[in-house]
Structure formats: C-alpha cells, structure tokens
Amino acid sequence: MQSLTYRTLDGELASLPPERVEAFSQQIRGGVLTAADSEYEPARRVWNGMVDRHPALIARCLGTQDVRHAVDFARQHRMLLSVRGGGHHIAGNAIADGALTIDLSSMRHVRVDPEQRTARVGAGALLGDIDHETQAFGLATPLGINSTTGVAGLCLGGGFGWLTRRYGLTADNLISADIVTADGELHVVSATREPELFWAIRGGGGNFGVVTSFEFQLHPVGPEVFAGLVVYPFAQARQVLQAWRDFAATAPRDFSVWTVLRQAPPLPFLPESVHGKEVVVFALLHHGDIATGERLATELLGFGDPLGSMLGPQPYAGFQTAFDPLLTPGARNYWKSHNFIEVSDELIDAVIQGASTLPGPECETFIAQLGGAMGDVDETATAYAGRNANFVMNVHGRWQDPGQDDTVRDWARQVFRDTAPFATGGGYVNFFTEDEDGRVDSAYAQNYLRLQQLKQQYDPDNLFRVNQNIAPMRLARSA
C-alpha cells in the first residue's frame, strides 16, 4: 500500500504512511475507504451531478465515537474535512478533493416517543425515514418537500416545507442535539445546555461541528391531508399569479400553496397536447380538516381556466414523495435564490419573463409561500435570519447534458438579476451554490457577527470550512 496524499487546511498537499491510515481505519466501525476500494466510487457521489470530487479518505461512521475519532484525525493532520449527511446540498459540500469525508449516511435511525411527541433522529436520516416513523403515530415535524433530502443539512440551514406556516422551520422544532466540535469533544446542546452553541446550529449550517443526532418536536399531522396540484396555461400566468398572491395574503396557516413555472411533465391528468409546454403549477397542502382544505382548494380552481387538477385527500407521507421523480440524483443542477416580503406585479412580470426562456424541460422557477409561524420568531432568536420573508424563490436549473452548462447557468443568473430589485437582499443558505460565498454574510444579516464570535470560540482554526462558511473572528479580521 502506498502513502496517502491529502490536502491540508492550508491548501497544500501532504502524505500519510499506509500504517497510519490502517490504524485510523481500525478506529472507524464502518471502515475507511480510499480510491483503491471498490465501494469508493458510489460513496463519493452526491445528488448534484455537476459535483465530481475525489476525497482522499471516506470515514463511514456508525456512531458518535467514530465521528470523534475522525475529527481528531483530521485536526491532528490538518486535513481538509467535509461532512456528508444526505449528500443532497446543491453546492456538493459533502465532499471535497483531497479531503477526509466524514460519512454519516449509515446513521439513519429514527426513534419516536408518541407520548412526548418527540423524535430522536440520526444524522444520516433522510426525510422519508422520519415521515415513515412519525406518521405511524399521526405525527410530523416541519421538513422539506423531497423525501431523499438529508435532515442534517436541512435543519442546520433552517429548513422549510409544507408545515412551516403552521409550525415554523425545521430548526425551530429542534429540541436538542449531539454535536462533536473541532476539539473532538461531544456536546449535548439545548435551550438550557450550552444555549449559545444551540443558537448557532439552528441556521448556522455545519460551521460549528458534526451533529450526530437531533431531537425534534412533533405535531399532530395526518396521516391524511388534503393536497394536490392545479395547472394553468402559461398564457394566463399573470392573471393566476396575481390571484394566488391575493389569496396567499389571507390564507390560514394550515394551508400552503407554492407555485412553479416550468414545462408540463407528462402528468396523467393533463391533456397530452400540453406536455412539454410552459405552464403555471400550484402545489398545495392543507393539514387540518379535510373539508376545509377542499373548500380552500376550490378557490384556486377559480383563478383562471385550469388545464387540469389532481386534488383530494391523500397520505401526508405520500405527498412528501410526490416531487421525488423530478428530483432524482445524478442530474446537473445550478440554483439561484431570493427572499421576498411580497410578490409585486413587477416581480410577477420578471418571473414570467424568465419562464418564457426556459432552457430545458427540467428547468423551473418556484416560489414557496412562507410566513406564518416562521415569522413569529424573533430575527435574533436563532442563527437563521430572513424571517421577514413571506416568499422564497428558487431558480432551479436542472439538465443532463454537460454541453448545456453555460446555457442553463446563464439563464438562472439572468432570472436572479432580473428579480433582485424586488428581493430583501438575504437568502436561504441551503439553496446557495458553491459560487455564492459572498452572500453568506448577507444571509445571516444582523446575526453574522455573533456567529463569527462563536465560530472563533468553537472552531478557531476553521476546521469545518467546506460549507457556506462563516470565518472565525480572528481569521476574518486578518483577511
């Protein structure tokens, strides 16, 4: 076995003797992979097909002690370090060239306490794992809308979905967490135990350590909800988007409606003649009384002349998988995102203009309706900023052919520029691509200085830097 070459925190190359790598491997219950191992190739792949990186080592951790060993190893050798949960983040920060990757993807346990309405969740768990267990008791916590998303990255960056207007962000429902910091020590954090570190991880991303488990508050949801889709012709886009905006202003918190502008997929309830044509889609979920949800959904059918709809009672966990076919791993993805307080006529016009120049059948622009309980929390109560946003837009470039890279990225950036005058200037870090480091400080707004100070306290050498990075105060001053 040859010496292992790796990248240091200083950006230089260094090497380790094979016996040192073998000794480290013996400390990790799931083993350690190098490029010579047959399992290395699938282990280094992440959701975004544009990301093609080669870690020096992949430590397949099965528990907290494995993580502590891996963090110690990286720190002692000043190895570049990345952390993989679900591997779903758009920027692909789960892996880095020449790094040690701490792979948590096998830690998918979910344990529900139905009496206390809590769930203890492993850092490798996917949203579908959580919904599967919690819905057995008619319970849920606010998560995203794609069942293959990892809970760790979702929660640490904030996390929003269908339940956010009623129950807040994913991070707002975090009760406690186990986290291994850069010194290799385990901390159990909550509102009463190390509250400053607990504050930081609720929105501050992976900057402060490796969270190995999460404890979430659960709420009564389902198992059956009223949900579905309403699709309108693109020619009626301005009319129906204005009607949606007015409807959203008074909609109850149990009812959420998101809009998507894209080419129509071959959905069975749509006429074949509109497949592949630009359309406006409204996706909705009501998790209260079914009859109330049906009544509210009827209003959406009056926005214009729908091409088709699919509405009705269905399992909540099932609707959480409804968009999985549009978000399968391996495609090339490039996103641009804005927060908005309101949807003005001018913003609607800009979004319509962007949708009229879609570069491919998988590209889309969606706007999520938020507000509600998310905005009830003070801006400084958690690291997550941007609680004044009632809407979040994601310009979602998605394609298969590398030859389209420039075309799709240029399109996404143009829509981003055209809609910027109507945005808050903030953003949702979970939607940031790898070329948006310059937006991190604005995303955290008034919370950024406090985050830098805590980063200096818990990670002064910036060991956890392969993320939407918050530099320690000392390093920030010297830059």
Residues 89 and 231 grouped into a single domain: no
Tell whether 365 and 228 lie within a shared domain: yes
Element (H, E) at 376: helix 373-376
> Which tokens is 179 given?
């986290």
Paired tokens of 161: 């979905």
Do residue 99 and residue 230 come from a single domain?
no
Q: Choose among 1, 7, 188, 26: nearest CA to 96.
A: 7
**Sequence-ordered list of residues with C-beta below 8 angstroms from that of 433, at least 6 positions apart, any chain:** 90, 91, 334, 335, 336
Domain shared by 282 and 417, yes or no = yes
Gyration radius of the chain over CA positions: 22
**Bond from prior residue into 268 cis (ω within 30 degrees of 0):** no
Range of the domain at 320: 224-436
Q: Does some domain include residue 204?
A: no
Whether 45 maps to a domain, the answer reads: yes
> What's the rounded mean pLDDT across residues 357-363?
97
Name the 3-class secondary structure at 322. coil
* Digit-coded pLDDT (tens) for 268-298: 999 999 999 999 999 999 999 999 999 999 9
pLDDT tens per residue across span 308-319: 999 999 999 999
Among 335, 336, 239, which residue's Cα sits nearest to residue 280? 239
Chain segment 60-75, per-residue pLDDT in tens:
999 999 999 999 999 9
Residue 211 lies in a domain: no
Above pLDDT 70, what percent of the chain? 99
Task: Round to whole Å and give the CA distance between 1 and 4.
Answer: 9
Contact 104, 84 (CB under 8 A): yes
Task: Tell me: pLDDT of 124 over 60.
Answer: yes
d(CA 301, CA 248) in angstroms, rounded, equals: 14
- Per DSSP, 170 falls in state T
The pLDDT of residue 473 is 87
> pLDDT tens digits for 135-149?
999 999 999 999 999
Look at residue 96 and tell me if it is in a domain. Answer: yes
What is the rounded distance in angstroms from the CA atom of residue 439 to the CA atom of residue 418? 17
Task: Give the predicted TM-score (pTM) of the model.
Answer: 0.95
> What pLDDT is stored for residue 477 in this prediction?
63
DSSP string, 66-88: HHHHHHHHHHHHTB-EEEESSS-
Position 131 in a domain: no
Give the amino acid at 328: T
pLDDT in tens, 418-476: 999 999 999 999 999 988 888 999 999 999 999 999 999 999 999 999 999 999 987 65
Query: Which one-letter amino acid corresponds to residue 225?
Result: V
Q: How many domains, the chain?
A: 2
DSSP 37: S
Mean pLDDT of the chain: 96
d(CA 409, CA 294): 39
385: domain CATH number is 3.40.462.20
User: Which of 74, 103, 132 is a domain's end point?
Assistant: 103
Residues in Cβ contact with 55 at an 8 Å cutoff, skipping those fewer than 6 apart? 44, 82, 95, 96, 97, 98, 99, 100, 101
* 83 lies in some domain: yes
184-200 average pLDDT score = 98
The CATH number linked to 67 is 3.30.43.10
Q: Is residue 463 part of a domain?
A: no
Is residue 202 a part of any domain in this protein? no
With 90 as the cut, is the pLDDT of residue 112 above it?
Answer: yes
